[in-house]
Amino acid sequence: MLSFLYARQSGLDDPVRLRRAESTRRVLSLELNHNRDVDRIHGNGINTLDIEVIDGRYMLSGGSDGVIVIYDLENNSKKPQYTCKAICTVGRSVCRHVHKFSVETVQWYPHDTGMFVSSSFDKTMKVWDTETLKPAEEFQFDGNVYCHHMSPVARKHSLVAVGTKDPKVQLCDLKSGSRIHILQGHRGEILSVRWSPRYDHILATASTDSRVHIWDVRRASGSLFTLDQHNGDKSKTSSEAVNTAHNGRVNGLCFTADGLHLLTTGTDDRMRLWNSATGENTLVNYGKVVNESRKGLKFTVSKGCSPEFVFVPCGSSVAVYGLHSGELITMLRGHYNNVDCCEFHPDYQELYSGGKDCNILAWVPVLRQPDIEDEETNSKRGGTQAAINPAFEDAWSSDED
């Protein structure tokens, strides 16, 4: 750490290198925080989480009970032990606009915390006003809504991609309040949709037909290409291609922060990393990634680390993998039932996970503990320094006088 600080101070190194090194160290030391609780509001399993990127302070959750909750993650008590309070709840007892069935996806509007969007098995997607907790717009569909996603970088459009029980991907325009386009190419239910964080017109979709399509929504024709796990011929049109990304349902999609790679998960217990520009399978071997979810799997990728990490729900644990190495780094254990979603907080390198046990757990980096020799020395001097983190201690010693 001191060498990084000296190199940055002297102008010998890129300041970003220090930040990446510390972010990586913090991710590698993640463990369950017993001093931080999250209010338990949901009566059934938690399906989805989302942390807004404007302030990095508020988190949305959606559950199988149809309830949506907004949490304040900031420690207002300034004490080591605190609870992340639920500041707003859209529940059956307080709101007549609540979803009738399970909420599958929630997402903050990427450019403002004044709005968020939720979708549910009640065949609706609702656009909520955060101030009034009332729907500003509601979209009706013919089947269960499994997922939706808004582009994190779009400035020229306000499209929401929606995946339903129907094999057609729906594009809804928030400005006009209508469904403006349909993407055809899949033959099964759409379990996951994801906009690229690099280009506002690139969309990835995953389905129960074992396929992943990459679309340019500016084009009226079919998809750009279909991902092939065997890296076969991509020159065929989407209607002719029989390429499959997995040997089972594809129920999870996640772009890396730079948008250069796309991760997919399937019920064949495999996770694959793809070049998002060419559609090439990079052949990174993550081993067996247990995945029995019949719905969408919400997993996430770190941001600002070197190398980057993948956090994937795996049974009652969260598996942490090296993105490009495929190495299983650790298993985060703490839930009493299956984990359905997890969300990474890039500002503090923290992870939040939600599961069928109705709990949201916080995984935080561990501060470096004092060495045993330091503790023994401090105890001989009266123990006044034993509880101080070494990062804040003075470097000088009176023994040198």
Report pLDDT for 96.
77
The b-or-e profile of 91-111 (16+ CB within 10 A means b, else e) is: beeebeebbeebbbbbbbbbe
Torsion, Cα of 141, 147, 153, 155 (10° steps): 10
**Which helix (H) or strand (E) covers residue 187, if one does?**
none
Report pLDDT for 392.
40
pLDDT one digit per residue (tens) for the chain, 401 residues = 667 676 667 776 777 788 888 899 999 999 999 999 999 999 999 999 999 999 999 999 999 999 999 999 999 888 889 999 999 999 876 677 889 999 999 999 999 999 999 999 999 999 999 999 999 999 999 999 999 999 999 989 999 999 999 999 999 999 999 999 999 999 999 999 999 999 999 999 999 999 999 999 998 788 999 999 999 865 454 444 578 999 999 999 999 999 999 999 999 999 999 999 999 999 999 999 999 888 999 999 999 998 999 999 999 999 999 999 999 999 999 999 999 999 999 999 999 999 999 999 999 999 766 555 445 545 554 444 444 444 444 444 445 44
How many residues are there in the chain?
Answer: 401
Q: Cis peptide before 307, with omega less than 30 degrees from 0?
A: yes
pLDDT tens column, 336-355: 999 999 999 999 999 999 99
CATH topology of domain 13-366: Methylamine Dehydrogenase; Chain H (2.130.10)
Euclidean distance between CA atoms 263 and 273, whole angstroms: 5
Euclidean distance between CA atoms 250 and 295, whole angstroms: 9
Euclidean distance between CA atoms 330 and 362, whole angstroms: 16
Domain regions of the chain by residue span: 13-366, 370-401
Counts of helices then strands in the chain (DSSP H, E): 3, 29
Report pLDDT for 395.
44
What is the pTM for the complete model shown?
0.87
Q: Which two tokens stand for residue 118?
A: 């939720």
Report pLDDT for 384.
44
Report pLDDT for 16.
79
**Which helix (H) or strand (E) covers residue 125, if one does?**
strand 124-129
Determine phi and psi for 304, rounding to 5 degrees.
Answer: 90, 10
Torsion, Cα of 37, 25, 341, 48 (10° steps): 70
Report pLDDT for 389.
45
